[in-house]
Structure 1
Amino acid sequence: MGKIKELQTSLANKIAAGEVVERPGSVVKELLENAIDAKATEINIEVKEAGVQSIRVVDNGTGIQSDDLDLVFHRHATSKLDADDDLFHIRTLGFRGEALASISSVAKVTLQTCTDEEEGQQIYVENGQILERKPAKAKRGTDILVESLFYNTPARLKYIKSLYTELGKITDIVNRMAMSHPDIRISLVSDDKTIIKTNGSGRTNEVMAEIYGMKVAKDLVHISGDTSDYHLEGFVAKPEHSRSNKHYISIFINGRYIKNFLLNKAILEGYHTLLTIGRYPICYINIEMDPILVDVNVHPTKLEVRLSKEDQLFELIVDKIREAFKDRILIPHNDMDKIAQKNKVLDQFEQQKIDFEKRQQQSHLNDTKVAQQQENDEQGDAENNDAKKSGMEYEDSDNMSYQSTTKEDSKIQEQLSNKDGYTKSQREILYDLEHQQLDEKNDDIAEQSDIKGAISKDPSRRVPYMEVVGQVHGTYIIAQNENGMYMIDQHAAQERIKYEYFREKIGEVSNEVQNLLIPLTFHFSKDEMFIIQQHINELDRVGVHLEPFGGNDYIVDSYPVWFPSVEVEEIIKDMIEYVLEHKKVDIKRIREEAAIMMSCKKSIKANHYLKNNEMSDLVDQLRETEDPFTCPHGRPIIINFSNYELERLFKRIM
């Protein structure tokens, strides 16, 4: 008898659910996408215990016809595809017909639905099978209740993180859906507390204000652009609102949230030197294109896509982000209150953790004492009756203390898990910190931001005139004008000045070379040899001539004159490593890095005291640069203390 057999439907559905339904957030995502595809204008989501107990999604969409109810929980049953060609013209968020089948195989599902033409219907499904069907009083649309997630696959529950983490995942999904569909009223309620509620106004920046707060929303800059194949719309936040992880980069294609390494790189390239190394922007970008140019059927979760003409899209994103900041004033304001609040929240959070751990240790000691006392009591004889009685009183006393502590600890533990008890801004700080760890592992507002950008096409006016009044520790220049006080990092300022100078000069030179006194030797493995051979002519054209030296060795005996002479070997090594990794020669990138390197080495350092006229000259030169707000590494050059902030610091105003 053969060994190969066809899997049972229930088992096949559970295997499929492992790809589609990874956690409660996956269920929310699939049901939310179905509601959007059903043309809903209002979607309400309710979760209990971060979705593990229950998830309910109610929409006012078109509903499901009575004749379709028998098929709605079958695998690969869908109304969105008919012929093979439809797979290459997908405009809906869902299309495989796997979501409801996968969900119903690992949860208990109750579905109510009603269309304009028919009365309401209700069905109850377990293990992928419809167990009950009956008429129901229902409004137009669909109401799906998912309960006891993973009740029949307990191993999956092991992979559920803390309830706060799972709720964070759900919130993240709903946030992104709300951004990409601002015309839909979307709400998320967790354990009877409203987390998100959008108004369906159709303005993405209003949704971003709800998610990120008004301070960020007021500093959003609108971007828009077209090529023959792509239309781009979005909002990018000023660099001062950067984050420590990529979590706040939201990219959508035809309204679908996606993750794409190349497009992330394009966004960072657009910000260029405006971001400090290791910092990432807050941004929303939606790309509209013919569906034939994108393949969304490459991953079960549909997060990863395959794009045509990526280079064209890359350049569009880079150009539009650079245009957005080209003429804007980007001097960050000192934010003493936020720093103080963050430190206060973190101190409070850490103290609660310490107190909680101490009480847990004390409870453990008390339990040990009680257990020991009981053991002694059991071994005692009649002479120890008084001691036994005393022990029982001690035990009761300890239990009362333990129960009291446990009750208090439960409250603290809930606070630590759910961040209850904190203000919204405090929760945002803790939410940022948690997502930093998670991610390492895996219009009125527009008008205000446009005005606030303070635009001038004269580069010198992007930095206002200021009078130099002194220097701190030979490192920071102090200046003033009618808007307050400014602190300028003298090293960062001269880095920017020299960087723009070298960048221009390096771009003007030819590929004239200079001989090395001692040739450099490079050894390659066999697979590296094949790559080098493919690109050896390109390297030669940019002035790096690799000459065979026997076996797998090559030598370089000259270098382009625009290389910094003290860094020749390091630059050539970087160029070769870049070719081996990316399979191409990027002369623009090489010249950029050379300009950054030379500007850093040739700029004044900290603890270097300057005369007043030297400081004034430096500030004047900075005002003439193209991007006077950050050094080539993205660190800020100027920080402004407004008159209002200074008066608050000295309690002149409260």
Structure 2
Amino acid sequence: MPRRIHILPDSLVNQIAAGEVVERPASVVKELVENALDARATRVEVSLQNGGKTEIRVADDGLGMGREDALLSLDRHATSKIARPEDLASVTTFGFRGEALPSIAAVSRLVLETAEPGGVGTRIRVVGGRIQSVEECARQPGTTVVVRNLFFNVPARAKFLRSASTETRAATEALTNLALSNLSVAFRLESNGRVLMDLPPAPDLASRVAELWGDDVAARLVAVQAQRDGITVAGLVDRPDATLTGPRRVHFFVGGRPFRDRGLALVAERAYATTIPHGARPSLLLYIDVPPGGVDVNVHPTKAEVRFRDRLAVEAAVEAAVRAALASLDSAATLDARPPLPQLRTPRPVHTARGPSSAPSRAGAGRPGRQDAWQLAFFVPAPVAAANETVEEPGDNRDDAQAAAAPEPGMRPRPSLWQVHDTYILAETRSGLLIIDQHSAHERVLFEETMRRLTDGGAVGQRLLFPITLRLSPAEQAIIDDIQPFLARAGFEIEAFGGRTIIVHAVPQPHPHFDPERCLREMLAELATGSELTRAARNQHERIAMTFACKAAIKAGQPLSEAEMHELFDRLFATELPSHDVHGRPTIVRLSLQELERRFGRHG
């Protein structure tokens, strides 16, 4: 019988490979810019025509290539990034497969110009994967790749491209991802001659975010910085009061490499539990560093996904890091018109094969690798203290408030607290003023105390001299049957009295003004009918604790003595998340001394 299996020609193989690597113009932009970054470029310029369908031009000032390397780069699986199978376990570059450039050349008309420092430039023209010409050219060190008529020889693929504006947005998003992970590099993006992005090298992440999306977006973020089980998590996330219910931005990076992971986004959102309204979705910019060999980046055709060796440890580290950031006073709402941008101080050393290095220079030799540049540019230098001084780290989140709550001997005495309109408490701190909503603050206190009681076995309620008799609706009766054990742990001693009537013999005593009958009636009514608060709860414990905290907390309009205010202040800052109540509203609003001075004209 005749042989039916045969080896495909290289031109067809490259077109098949291009189907995986090159999905649209944004894929070309991503691959070419990644090559530029791997070549240690300090400036990358991208130009699009017709959304990239007509032309894509990517120019960089990186190391460039000599003639032989330039020709080899157009062969499949030719790369300078790895040499042995073991190298796949510790890839520190964006590219490593040697597929991108030949795949792009197979479905376009491509011109490659490149030159090494001190060398002669090379220009190569390729049409549909076939080299048409190779010649010398005069140019500066670096590489320029021009891709024209994408999918000209694969019309079926070209039909699936979207409008020019849609393709431009996709390319912008791809470049934004790379700009966020390479702060020491300048980026410029043009579309049909119009500048869409012009980013200088950024001193820190918040500055890059401000350049991309504006100062107002950067100012509503809070810094994340933590290390757990050898895993470092750093970045910026939305303050709870700034979260929205509409679209949000989610960017994850591991070792400086962007990747997608919906599961990890859900884990980070879980850290926001009881701090944001139901349905709100925070923006997340998180950078993860794991020990060598802890991540496999060779699991997706476009390297858009990764696989962690210890997935559970990474998830735990991410959730704990975000939760710790939300526990800081920096996550509280602010009245400042120009709040300072969040900053991340120099962290503990990250896991990388290269050692710390100086900032990138324009010379080819001796420049740090891409991961080093990311590592150095991501963080701002930590302040240097004199021998007899201490440095205040931004992660020491409740410094001002806790110093006010429990001053050490020899320190200035505890500042006075003032109640305003029987609703708000004002507290002076070293950096300004805190405005505390007494109801929201007490909600947070009662919620965390009740959660501990429900988990640890409960608390004994105060016996009533005259028990309370309540007649319930059918829905409330059904609820009380389900939750009576939980109410007992919260301090309510309840006994059935026939029909739909119950007798309450003991109740918790959260404050002297507590009305147990009103609290229990409101709790049962809300649990029976449901509300945004009860729907936000993740389990029955949270549902009971949230409802009790809301109904039992000190109300707005309740006068408090100085001792009561101090007790509430101290208990609030002993909680895990003092800046946010269980509805997702702020308990604290900050007003900085700098803002006060600016408003009174003491400085600009």
Counterpart residue type for residue 539 of structure 2: E
SS in 2 for 1:252: strand
CA distance in 1 between counterparts of 2:96 and 2:311 reads: 24
SS class of match (2:17): helix
Q: Which residue of 2 aligns with 1:358?
A: none
Verify the 8 A CA contact 1:329 1:455 in the aligned structure 2: no
- Structure 1, residues 530-553: CA drift from partner, whole Å, max 9, x if none? xxxxxxxxxxxxxxxxxxxxxxxx
Secondary structure at 1:278's aligned position in 2? Answer: coil
In the alignment, structure 1 residue 498 sits paired with structure 2 residue 498: no
Find the aligned partners of 2:214 and 2:193 in 1 and give their Cα distance: 22
Q: Distance in 1 between matches of 2:180 and 2:425?
A: 41
The one-character-per-residue Cα deviations of 1:210-247 (angstroms, maximum 9, x if unpaired) are: 12322233344433333454333323342233244675
Match of 1:124 in 2: 125
Alignment of 1:65-464 (within 5 A): 65-116=66-117, 118-227=119-228, 229-244=230-245, 247-328=248-329, 330-333=331-334, 455-458=399-402
Structure-2 change in CA distance of 1:468 and 1:229 (3 Å): closer
CA distance in 1, matches of 2:177, 2:76: 27
Instruction: Map residues 545-624 of structure 1 onto 2, 5 A cutoff.
Output: 562=489, 593-603=539-549, 612-613=558-559, 621=568, 624=571
The 1:600/1:288 distance shift into structure 2, 3 A limit, reads: closer
Q: CA RMSD in A?
A: 4.3
In structure 2, the residue corresponding to 1:456 is in which secondary structure?
A: helix
Query: When the two structures are aligned, how many residues end up with a matched partner?
Result: 464
Matched, 1:467 2:468: no
C-alpha separation in 1, matches of 2:75 and 2:395: 54
Q: Return the alpha-carbon distance in structure 1 between the equivalents of residues 56 and 315 of structure 2.
A: 38
Deviations 1:150-189 (A, max 9, x none): 2222332333333333222222221221121111122222
Hey, what's the Cα distance between the residues in 2 that align with 1:89 and 1:610?
58
8 Å contact from structure 1 (residues 459, 623) kept in 2 = no
Larger Rg belongs to: 1
Deviation at 1:300, TM superposition (A): 0.5
1:241-277 CA-to-partner distances (Å, cap 9, x unmatched) read 3244675222211110112244323422333332333
Structure 1 segment 12-51 matched on structure 2, within 5 A: 12-51=13-52
**Cα distance change of structure 1 residues 489 and 559 upon mapping to structure 2, 3 Å threshold:** closer
Between the two proteins, what is the percent identity of the paired residues? 29
Query: Contact 2:537–2:543 at 8 Å: present in 1 too?
Result: no
Match of 2:517 in 1: none
Change over 3 Å in CA distance of 1:18–1:461 after alignment to 2: farther
2:125 & 2:149 partners in 1: Cα distance? 13
The aligned residue for residue 537 of structure 1 is none
Segments of structure 1 that go 5 or more residues without pairing to the other structure are 337-442, 471-476, 511-555, 567-589, 646-654
- How much has 1:313 moved relative to structure 2? 2.6
Cα pair 2:425 2:438 within 8 Å, conserved:
no
Distance in 1 between residues matched to 2:416 and 2:180, nearest whole Å: 36
3-state SS of the aligned residue for 1:298?
A: coil
- Looking at structure 1, the residues matched to 61 and 403 of structure 2 have their Cα atoms a distance apart, in angstroms, of 52
Distance of 2:404 and 2:538 partners within structure 1? 23
Q: 1:457 to 1:103 in 2, by over 3 A?
A: same
Matched-pair contact (CA < 8 Å) for 1:496–1:599: no
What secondary structure does 2:316 align onto? helix
Q: Tell me, yes or no, if the aligned pair for 2:226 and 2:233 is still in contact at 8 Å.
A: yes
Retained in 1: the 8 A contact 2:405–2:569?
A: no
Alignment partner of 1:69: what SS?
helix
3-state secondary structure, aligned to 1:63: coil
* Greater displacement, 208-217 / 628-637: 628-637
By percentage of residues, which structure has more helix?
1
TM-score with structure 1 length normalisation? 0.61
- State the AA in 2 paired with 1:144: V
Gaps of 5+ in 2: 338-378, 384-391, 407-414, 459-481, 495-535, 596-604
Measure how far apart 1:106 and its partner are: 1.8
Q: Give the letter aligned to residue 164 of structure 2.
A: L
Give the distance between the partners of 2:393 and 2:148, measured in 1 at CA: 44
